[in-house]
Amino acid sequence: RLGGMSQADTLKARGNEYFARGKIDAAIDAYSEAICLQPHMAVYHTNRALCYQKKKAWTQVESDCSKALEIDEMSIKAHYLLGAALVEQHRYSAGIPSLQRALELCKDRTVAYKDDIRRAMLSARKKEWDEGSSTSLSMLSRAEEVMPSIISAYFEQQQQMQEGASSELQQEVAGVGAAATEALQLLRGV
């Protein structure tokens, strides 16, 4: 068993060297071999996840980080990389809590990439806000498109139903129409 750990550590070191030289696929292979020898070492999974992050292979990052967190739920790197991968997939409601957890764990330990985690968190919140804002604006735009036809159809129906109605009732319908037009203008002003 000790020999297996030593060989796995050698493979991890080799993966680190490959990663530093930008040979991402070779690093992935080295970390994968280390994982085969010692599958319960979270760091092998997170190192490979970092390689996958460089390749923008978000589902592989997610998979490796999830496995790392099964092994070590206190892994800052796993929470950070998982959160970043989820955010890249526009899954903010899952990604932001992972980034928050990484930041919480940083309080108890010195982590060289704490500022990176903080920046990722701020970026994730901004992306979530921007996406939510654009969704709201598109919904508002759609409402502006359909409201006039809905209002028009309503009043045409009302007029047909009330032919021969008193002038008071006709004025009331016209007043409602004016109020609806004003509401539409206010909606456009939002």
Is this prediction's pTM over 0.75? Answer: no
63 to each of 88, 126, 151, how far by Cα in Å? 14, 25, 51
pLDDT for 1 equals 44
Q: Mean pLDDT for each 10-residue chunk of the chain (190 residues)?
A: 71 97 98 96 98 97 98 97 96 93 91 90 86 67 70 68 63 68 64
For residue 73, the tally of other CB atoms under 10 A from its CB is 12
171 to each of 60, 104, 108, 168, 174, how far by Cα in Å? 66, 64, 71, 5, 5
